[in-house]
Amino acid sequence: MRFNLPKSRVPFHALMIVGCLLQLQQVNAQVKASVIKGVVQNSYDEPLTGVSVVIRNTKTNFTSGTTTDSTGVFNFSRISPGGPYSFTFSMVGYENQIMSGYNIKAEIMLSLVVKLVATSTSLDQVVVVGYGTQKRKDLTGSVASVGTKEIKDLAVTRVEQALAGKVAGVQVKAVSGEPGVAPQIRIRGIGSISAGAGPLYVVDGFPTDNIQTLNPNDIETMDILKDASATAIYGSRGSNGVIIINTKRGRVGRTNITFDTYFGLQQILKKPRMKNAFEQAQYGYDGYRNNNLDAGNSVSGPPASWKIAVPAQILDVLSGKNTYDSDPLDEILRTAPMKQYQLTATGGSENIRFALSGEYSNPEGIVINSDFKRYSLRANLDAKLSKRLTVKLNVNPSFTNKRALPVYTGGEGNFIGSALGTFNWIPLTDSNGKYTNEHGRADLSEINNPLAVARETITTQKTLRFLGNVNAEYKILDGLNLNVMIGTNLMSIKGMTFVPQLPVLLNVPAVGTDNAALITNWIAEYTMNYNKTYKKHSITALAGYTSQKERGELNNMVSNKYPNNLVPTLSAVSGLLTGGSSDTYEWSILSYLARINYNYDNRYYLTTSIRSDGSSRFGSENKYAFFPSVALAWRVKEEKFFKNVNFLSELKIRASFGESGNNNIGNYESYATINYEKYVLGNGAIGGFAQGKLENPILTWEKQKQINVGIDAAVFNNRIRLTVDHFKSNNTNLLLSVNIPSTTGFSNALQNIGEVSNNGWEFVLSTVNLNSKFQWSTDFNLSTYRNKVIKLGPSGDPIYTANNITMIGQPIGMFYGLKLDGIFKNQAELDKGPIWNPGAADRSRVGDMRFVDVSGPNGKPDGIISSADYTVIGSPYPDFYYGMTNNFSYGNFSVSVNIQGTHGSQVYNLSRGQGNSGRGRLRGYAFNNDYWKSEQDPGDGKTQRPNNAPTGGARAIGQQFMDNGSFLRVNNIISGYTLPEKLSNKLSLNSLRIYFNATNPFLVTKYTSFNPDVSLSENPLTPGNEQNDYPLPKSFVLGLNVSF
C-alpha cells in the first residue's frame, strides 16, 4: 500500500521537486512491540549507508538517534506509543528530510521507505556565503560550490588541486609538479599589477591566505565567491575572489569509523624529446663550422685545428670514439610513490556531535630527493549546551615536512635546467660512481652536475601549524541569534639549506642557511543574525564586527665559514656567520559589516551589504575604507504565468554591483622607513642606514568595482541545468612604483595610480544524461576573461619586465620582443633584409632568422632589426578555458572522468634558450633538428642554422622562443567499486570500497617542454614564462575506503 506523506512542513514548492521522490510505505505485520524500521535510498533506489536518523517526540521531548547500515536500513525498537513523532534524516551531500506528525499506535510495526535527494541537484542546497548561509535558489550573486563528492578519491595533496577544472571563472594552473606545491588560482582574471592576485581563503570562518596544511579529505564544501556583491562583505580582502572552506562535522547517530588509504606511483607526465648524442654533436659541429665561416676562417683542415676549433668531445662522438648516449634527465627523475592514510570517526548524540580525523600523507617527488610529508589532526565538535546556546569547536594541528628542490649555486639556469642542458655523451658519474665535473669543459657551458646537486645538497622546510576557533551561537529570540567567534592561526616554520664544498660544484666554500618564522594570527568576531518571514515577505539581516591581527617574527642566518662538509648545521661555523637578520612585522584589520537579504514571495530578491575596513596598512590620512554592494534577482519560474510550464524547473535572472578591495599593499609602505646599509671599513663590514623610501600618508587599498549579470535555468526536473554569468570589473588605485625625479634621492615611490579592467563570460552546463540503473551525468564549464590595462604611472609609460610588457590598452604582461618571419634561406632573401646589427660581427647572414621590421628609430621601418622593432608578440592568456566531468555508474561500479584545458595562450619558453639560439653549448630540444644547412639544403625552411657565436639576433627576445600553450589534460579517471553488502558484512565491515585513480594520464598539447600550464612566478607582470619548471607527474593510484 502506497500513499503520499500525510503531513509535512516542507513548503509546497519544494514538494514539487521532492514529493514524487519521497515515499512512504506502511507494512502490516505481526507485531508485539512498537518498532519502527525503515530503509533510506537515493533517487535511484540504492540504499544509503550512514544516514543519520533522529526520532523525536515533540510532546515528551524523547529523542533517539541512529544511522543506517550498509543496506540502508535503520531500526528503532521499543518506541513508546503516542506522538506526534518526527523523523529527521540527514547525510552529507543530501537534502535534510524532516517527516513529522506520526502518531505511533501500540503494537504496530511502522515501516518507512525514505528517499533523499542529492543536494547537488537541488535548489535547496545550502551555500556558504560570507558570514552566513543561503539556499542556492535564493542566491543573488555569483557563487560556485564544490562538495565532498567532487573531492573524494582525487588523491590530491593540496585542497586547491580539487578545484582544477571544476568551477567556471576559477583558473587553476598546475604550475609545478613539486610535491606539496599548490596550483596557482586566479578568479575572474587579474585585478592587480603588483599587490598579489591570489584569492582569500576562509576556513571554518577564519580568513587566511595559506591553506597548505589543510587535508583535502576533511573538506565538506568549498564555496567560491566570485562577483563583487558576494565578495564585498570581505571588503579590502575580497577583490581577488574568496574561497570559503567548511570542514566535515559530526552527525547524530551511530559512531562511524572509516579508514581511507591510497597508494600510487607517479612518473613524469611529459618528457621532452631532447637531442641525442649524435644529433647534438652534429649540431655543435655545424655551429663551430658556421662560426669559422662567419669569421672568414678556413674550414678545410681537420676540425680540431680550425681557428675556432671544434672541441674534441664533439669530434669523439661524431667519429664513434665515444658512443655513450644516455639522457641525464633520466638520472634525476624517478618513479615516485605517493601514499596517504586517514582514520576518521564521526557521530554523536543530539547534544554533542563530533568529527575526528588523523591523516598522514606522503607524496614523494618525481625528481630525486624531493619529498613532502604531512601529518594532520582535526577535531570538530558541536555542542548544544542549552536550548539557546550552541558551541562549535574546530581544532586542526598539522605538521608538514618538505624536502624541496636543491639550491642551485653555479652556472646557467637552475637544477632541472642543468639536467636538461647536459649532453647525452656525458655520463653524470664515472664507473667508480665519482661525479663528472661539468665545469671547465670546452664542449659545455658552465653548469653544475645535477646529480651531485641533488644528492649532496640539502633544502628542507618544516611547518607546524595550529588552526583553531570556537564559535558560540546564542539564540536571543526566535529568529535572532548572536554569534561570537574567536580563533587563532599559529604557524611555526623552520628551514635550512646546505651546499657542501665539492670540486664538482666549483669548490665554492660550503654555505649553509637556517631560517625560522613564528606567525601568530588571531581573530575576534561578533555577528548578529535576524530572520523573519511575514506573509510573503522574508528578510534576513546581518550585522557584525570583526577584528584580526597578525604578528610575524622571522629570522635567518647564513654562513660560508664551514670547516668541512661533515656537519651541515650552522653549529659547525664556530659562530662565524656571514649574514643574517631578524624581522618582525604586524598588521591588523578592524571591520564593521552589515547585510540585508530580502525576498518577496520567493520571486523578487534584494541583497545589499556594506563593510567598513580600517587597516594598519593604510596611510594615516586614509585609514578607513567602505565597500558597498547591491544585488537583485528575479525567479521568473515562480511567476504565475510560468507555474504551469512543467518542463521548466528553474529560471532566475540575477544582477549585481559591488565594491571590494585588495589590501596586500605591504605592511609599512606608508612610512618613511630606513634601510640598513653596509660599507667596508678597515677591511671589514660596517653597518649604517639611509632613508629607504618617501613617506606616503595617503597610501590606500586597491579598489575593485564589479558588475555581474547572470541567469540560472533548469529543465526536465533539473536534468539539464545551465548557468551563464557575465562580469565586468574595474580595478583602480592599483599600487605602482612610480618614477619620480631622482633629485629627491629616490627614483621611485609607491602610489595608488594604476587601473585595469576585466570582463568575461562563464557558462556552466550540467546534465543528467542517463538516469536508470546505468547513470551518466556531465558537468561542463567554460570561462573567458579579457584583461586590459587602463592606466599606468603619471606618464603612462609601459612597464618592461624581461620578456613581458604591461602597457595601456593591452592585457597585463603581454610578450614583447621581435616578430619572427622564417629564416633567410638564401642570399637573395638576405639581400632584401631586414638585417640585425648591419656591419657588426653578429649581423644577419644566410641561414639566420628573419625578423619583422616593425619600426625604426624614426618611427618608420628602416631595414634594420633593433630594439625599435620590439612589439607585442603574443599573449599568455587563453581565449577560453574549460573543464568537464563525466560521472558514470552502474550498480556498484562508478567511473568519473575530469578534463581541463585552455585554448589560445602562449608560453615564453626560456628553457628553449639553449636549444633554439643556435649555440650548441647546452643540450637542445630535438624539434629543431631539421635546420638550415646550406642554400641547397635549407632543412625545413624555418629553422635557423646552428652557430657557436649566434648571429642575426638569435638570442634576442623574440617569437623563436615562444610555444603554443593550449592544452587538454585529463586530470583524473577514477573508477570505483563498492563491495556488495553481503560480502562486506561477511568481513564484518559496514562497507568497503576500492577505487583506481589515474591522475593526469593524458596531455594533448603542442608544447615542447614539460608542462604548458606555466607560471614562473606569482608576479602578475611576468605571466606565461617557463624556465625549467618542476615537471608535472602523472600517477596511478589504488585506494581503499573501509567503514566499520
Residues 365-394 that bind another protein (CB under 8 A): 385-386, 388-389, 391
- Among 466, 474, 761, 776, interactor with another protein by CB under 8 A: 474
Report the C-alpha gap between 390 and 865 in whole angstroms.
Answer: 73
User: Residue 745, SS3?
Assistant: coil
- Among 58, 323, 569, 578, interactor with another protein by CB under 8 A: 578
Applying CB under 8 A, the span of 171-179, 234-242, 433-441, 816-824 interacting with another protein comes to 433-441
- Among 263, 278, 399, 522, interactor with another protein by CB under 8 A: 522
Nearer to another protein, 122 or 291 (CB): 291
Among residues 1034, 1015, 958, the alpha carbon closest in space to that of 197 is found at: 1015
Q: Give residues 295-324 in contact with another protein (rule: CB under 8 A).
A: 308
Applying CB under 8 A, the span of 72-80, 108-116, 457-465, 519-527 interacting with another protein comes to 519-527
Site string for another protein, 828-867 (x = CB under 8 A): ---------x--xxx-------------------------
What would you report as the CA-atom Rg of the chain, rounded to the nearest whole angstrom?
Answer: 33
- Among 26, 75, 133, 584, interactor with another protein by CB under 8 A: 584
Q: Give residues 860-919 in contact with another protein (rule: CB under 8 A).
A: none
Nearer to another protein, 457 or 889 (CB): 457
Q: Write down the least CB distance from residue 839 to another protein, Å.
A: 10
DSSP letter for 781, please.
Answer: E
CA dihedral 554, 558, 563, 567 (to 10 degrees): 40
How far is CA 696 from its chain centroid? Answer: 34
Q: Write down the least CB distance from residue 524 to another protein, Å.
A: 4
Report the C-alpha gap between 130 and 230 in whole angstroms.
Answer: 7
Report the C-alpha gap between 635 and 617 in whole angstroms.
Answer: 42
Q: Write down the least CB distance from residue 34 to another protein, Å.
A: 34
Nearer to another protein, 607 or 917 (CB): 917
What is the pairing mode between strands 219-225 and 206-208?
unpaired
Nearer to another protein, 1 or 681 (CB): 681
Beta carbons of 818 and 956 less than 8 angstroms apart: yes
Q: Write down the least CB distance from residue 811 to another protein, Å.
A: 24
Nearer to another protein, 537 or 678 (CB): 678
Nearer to another protein, 8 or 471 (CB): 471
Report the C-alpha gap between 166 and 155 in whole angstroms.
Answer: 16
Applying CB under 8 A, the span of 192-200, 245-253, 501-509, 532-540 interacting with another protein comes to 501-509
Report the C-alpha gap between 472 and 186 in whole angstroms.
Answer: 34
Residue 868, C-alpha cell as written in the block: 625599435
Report the C-alpha gap between 511 and 560 in whole angstroms.
Answer: 4
- Binding-site residue total for another protein (CB under 8 A)? 85
Report the C-alpha gap between 179 and 176 in whole angstroms.
Answer: 8
Residue 389, C-alpha cell as written in the block: 546556546
Nearer to another protein, 273 or 678 (CB): 678
Site string for another protein, 930-959 (x = CB under 8 A): -------------------x----------
Q: Write down the least CB distance from residue 521 to another protein, Å.
A: 12
Nearer to another protein, 644 or 683 (CB): 683
Q: Write down the least CB distance from residue 480 to another protein, Å.
A: 15
* Cβ burial, residue 320 (10 Å; 0-12/13-18/19+): exposed
The 10 Å CB-count burial string (b at 16+, else e) for 540-556 is bbbebebebebebeeeb
Beta carbons of 871 and 816 less than 8 angstroms apart: yes
Nearer to another protein, 379 or 740 (CB): 740
- Among 23, 25, 86, 560, interactor with another protein by CB under 8 A: 560
Q: Write down the least CB distance from residue 591 to another protein, Å.
A: 10
User: Residue 570, SS3?
Assistant: helix
Q: Write down the least CB distance from residue 949 to another protein, Å.
A: 8
Q: Write down the least CB distance from residue 996 to another protein, Å.
A: 47
- Among 6, 337, 563, 579, interactor with another protein by CB under 8 A: 579
Residue 402, C-alpha cell as written in the block: 618538505
Q: Give residues 479-498 in contact with another protein (rule: CB under 8 A).
A: 484, 486
Q: Write down the least CB distance from residue 429 to another protein, Å.
A: 21
Q: Write down the least CB distance from residue 625 to another protein, Å.
A: 11
Q: Write down the least CB distance from residue 551 to another protein, Å.
A: 9
The answer to whether 589 contacts another protein (rule: CB under 8 A) is yes
Nearer to another protein, 740 or 994 (CB): 740
Q: Write down the least CB distance from residue 696 to another protein, Å.
A: 10
Nearer to another protein, 20 or 508 (CB): 508
Among residues 370, 363, 423, the alpha carbon closest in space to that of 155 is found at: 363
- Among 481, 547, 565, 985, interactor with another protein by CB under 8 A: 547
Q: Write down the least CB distance from residue 516 to another protein, Å.
A: 15
Q: Which residues does residue 378 pair with via DSSP β-bridges, in sequence order?
A: 357
CA angle 642, 644, 649 (to 5 degrees): 70
HEC-encoded secondary structure of 965-1001: CCEEEEEEEEEEEECCHHHHHHCCCCEEEEEEEEEEE
User: Residue 803, SS3?
Assistant: coil
Beta carbons of 416 and 1030 less than 8 angstroms apart: yes
Q: Is the dihedral of CA 557, 558, 559, 562 positive or negative?
A: positive
Site string for another protein, 793-832 (x = CB under 8 A): --x-x-----------------------------------
Q: Write down the least CB distance from residue 563 to another protein, Å.
A: 15
* Order of strands across the sheet that contains 73-76: 73-76, 35-41, 109-115
Nearer to another protein, 43 or 667 (CB): 667
Nearer to another protein, 58 or 351 (CB): 351
Residue 689, C-alpha cell as written in the block: 642606514
The 10 Å CB-count burial string (b at 16+, else e) for 81-98 is eebebbbbbbbbbbbebe
Nearer to another protein, 184 or 546 (CB): 546
Among residues 498, 323, 306, 551, the alpha carbon closest in space to that of 426 is found at: 323
Q: Give residues 665-694 in contact with another protein (rule: CB under 8 A).
A: 667-668, 671-675, 677-692, 694
Nearer to another protein, 131 or 262 (CB): 131
- Among 538, 588, 612, 622, interactor with another protein by CB under 8 A: 588
Nearer to another protein, 86 or 565 (CB): 565
Report the C-alpha gap between 510 and 576 in whole angstroms.
Answer: 13
Q: Give residues 607-636 in contact with another protein (rule: CB under 8 A).
A: 614-616, 618, 623
Nearer to another protein, 392 or 652 (CB): 392
Report the C-alpha gap between 240 and 662 in whole angstroms.
Answer: 7
Q: Give residues 209-238 in contact with another protein (rule: CB under 8 A).
A: none
Nearer to another protein, 257 or 493 (CB): 493
- Give the list of residues 6+ apart from residue 119 with CB closer than 8 angstroms, or none: 93, 94, 95, 125, 126, 147
* C-alpha distance across the termini of the chain, in Å: 35
Q: Give residues 718-747 in contact with another protein (rule: CB under 8 A).
A: 739-747
